[in-house]
Copies of this chain bind each other. A is one copy, B any other.
Amino acid sequence: MNIEKQTIIPPIASQDSPLPYFYYEVIHTSKKSRARVGRIHTPHGIIDTPNFVGVGTNATLKSLDSVMVDNLGLQLMFCNTYHLMLQPGTAVIQAAGGLHKFMNRSMPIITDSGGFQVFSLAYGTVKDELKSSGKKIGNSAVLKINEDGVLFRSYRDGSPILLTPETSIAAQKALGADIIIPFDELPPYHIDPYKLEASLHRTHRWEKRSLDAHIQNKNNQAMYAVIHGGIDPQLRSLSASYLSKLPFDGFAIGGSLGKTKEQMIAMLTSLMPQLPVDKPNHLLGIGDLYSIEASVKLGIDTFDSSHPTRCARHGLVFSSKGSVKIGNTMHKLNFGPIDEKCTCMVCQNYTVAYLHHLLKAKEMTGYTLASIHNIHFMVQLMAAYRTAILNDDI
């Protein structure tokens, strides 16, 4: 399929058929790569793609309030269903009128299924698990995993919680994000090939059940499938083929993305041409600058990661000349901004020396300012990628 020449016709509104609440349009595909500029239309506005998605696990981007995040122009925020189920509970957010109202966010939100966190309880975090050479970490928080779903214990009050495709979707309906994710199994990287295939089929059954539950009450939400298969090209193909036949609104790429960035890029290089070009896609949990550049060229539309805000809290800020380690002694007397070309409020108002001091004094203000700068940087970086694609420069 020659994607460069394929024309995607966006929906046109008429009196009889108003525009759907969610749709995607491609503005331009680069002549140099699979990179594309598009627009995802959602009930809470447009997401220009490619774009970075900030992670606000607990209904807040760490150290930044929603008014600030809106002002920074972060068009999509990722919130975690698992965390919000446990605190404050989906019933509270539903009573508030949904996540947007609860956190006072005007722009689009995406939630995940909770599966990632629950399986991290069972196998350890992705990072721990990669380091463990396959030794199952085991955690008494997970009580049972079977075809129905996962039974686990709340870390807050010890109560047992059953997460299934149906309960995950019910939770995500209560949260009311613009984009939701079906419940999937997250197999560990270190898994026997036959078990990986079995897990993939279970994930497919769970995703289908999730989609069925979603379709019964669309609630102005879109659902992205999650393509699994680890780093096995054939399983990834199988997953793309199966899921793209179902009426999902977009495609997320999840599961194990490999041990190294090179493994991930190889996997994406093989997988991306197999995805429908008329639907948006999302790469789950990736946000480092190297991977973003490589993935944009392969046609990825959106990325979510807590990387920029986590870096900020550890004193690593991004700049057009590379990253700056704020805590480095050389910055004690650096009375310039982080980045002379940066237009963010931090670079307009504060010096690196002041940020260095706040970091050394362990002042929260320092985490906030560094986070503002890094999110602003990501928003501007993605806008620059869109311009480059429109100019066929990448």
Q: Which residues of A contact B (CB under 8 A)?
A: 58-67, 83, 87-88, 92, 95-96, 102-104, 332-333, 335, 345, 349-351, 353-354, 356-358, 360-361, 363-369
Bound CA–CA A333/B102 (angstroms): 10
The chain B residue with its CB closest to the CB of A346 is B65
Hey, which chain B residues are within 8 Å of A62, CB to CB? Answer: 363-365
Closest A-B pairs by Cβ, 4 of them: A58-B361, A63-B364, A88-B357, A60-B365
Q: Are B88 and A349 in contact (CB under 8 A)?
A: no
Bound CA–CA A345/B102 (angstroms): 16
Hey, which chain B residues are within 8 Å of A360, CB to CB? Answer: 87-88
Selected contact of A65 from candidates B87, B351, B368, CB within 8 Å: B368
Hey, which chain B residues are within 8 Å of A64, CB to CB? Answer: 365
Hey, which chain B residues are within 8 Å of A87, CB to CB? Answer: 357, 360-361
Q: Are A88 and B332 in contact (CB under 8 A)?
A: yes
The chain B residue with its CB closest to the CB of A89 is B332
Query: Closest CB of chain B to A100's CB: distance in Å?
Result: 12
Bound CA–CA A88/B58 (angstroms): 33
Selected contact of A345 from candidates B58, B67, B351, CB within 8 Å: B67
Q: Are A58 and B363 in contact (CB under 8 A)?
A: yes
Copies in the complex: 2
Contacts A60-B361, A62-B364, A92-B333 supplied; 13 other A-B pairs, CB < 8 Å = A59-B354, A59-B357, A61-B365, A62-B363, A65-B349, A65-B369, A67-B349, A88-B332, A88-B361, A92-B332, A102-B354, A364-B367, A368-B368
Query: Closest CB of chain B to A102's CB: distance in Å?
Result: 6
Q: Are B368 and A88 in contact (CB under 8 A)?
A: no
Selected contact of A353 from candidates B60, B102, B349, B358, CB within 8 Å: B102
Query: Closest CB of chain B to A174's CB: distance in Å?
Result: 14
Hey, which chain B residues are within 8 Å of A368, CB to CB? Answer: 63, 65, 364, 368
Given A62-B364, A368-B364, are A104 and B67 neighbors across the interface (CB < 8 Å)?
no
The chain B residue with its CB closest to the CB of A357 is B88
Most chain B CB neighbours (cut-off 10 Å) among A62, A64, A104, A357? A357
Bound CA–CA A251/B6 (angstroms): 79
Hey, which chain B residues are within 8 Å of A58, CB to CB? Answer: 357-358, 361, 363
Bound CA–CA A327/B103 (angstroms): 17
Q: Are B67 and A333 in contact (CB under 8 A)?
A: no
Given A60-B365, A361-B58, A367-B364, are A349 and B92 neighbors across the interface (CB < 8 Å)?
no
Bound CA–CA A59/B88 (angstroms): 34
Query: Closest CB of chain B to A108's CB: distance in Å?
Result: 18
Q: Are B63 and A354 in contact (CB under 8 A)?
A: no
What are 21 residue pairs bridging A and B, where the CB atoms are less than 8 Å apart in the complex?
A: A58-B363, A60-B361, A60-B365, A62-B365, A63-B363, A63-B364, A63-B368, A64-B365, A65-B350, A65-B365, A83-B361, A88-B332, A88-B357, A92-B353, A96-B335, A96-B351, A96-B353, A96-B354, A102-B353, A104-B349, A364-B368
Hey, which chain B residues are within 8 Å of A63, CB to CB? Answer: 363-365, 368
Selected contact of A356 from candidates B88, B349, B358, B363, CB within 8 Å: B88
Query: Closest CB of chain B to A366's CB: distance in Å?
Result: 8
Hey, which chain B residues are within 8 Å of A363, CB to CB? Answer: 58, 60, 62-63
Bound CA–CA A382/B317 (angstroms): 39
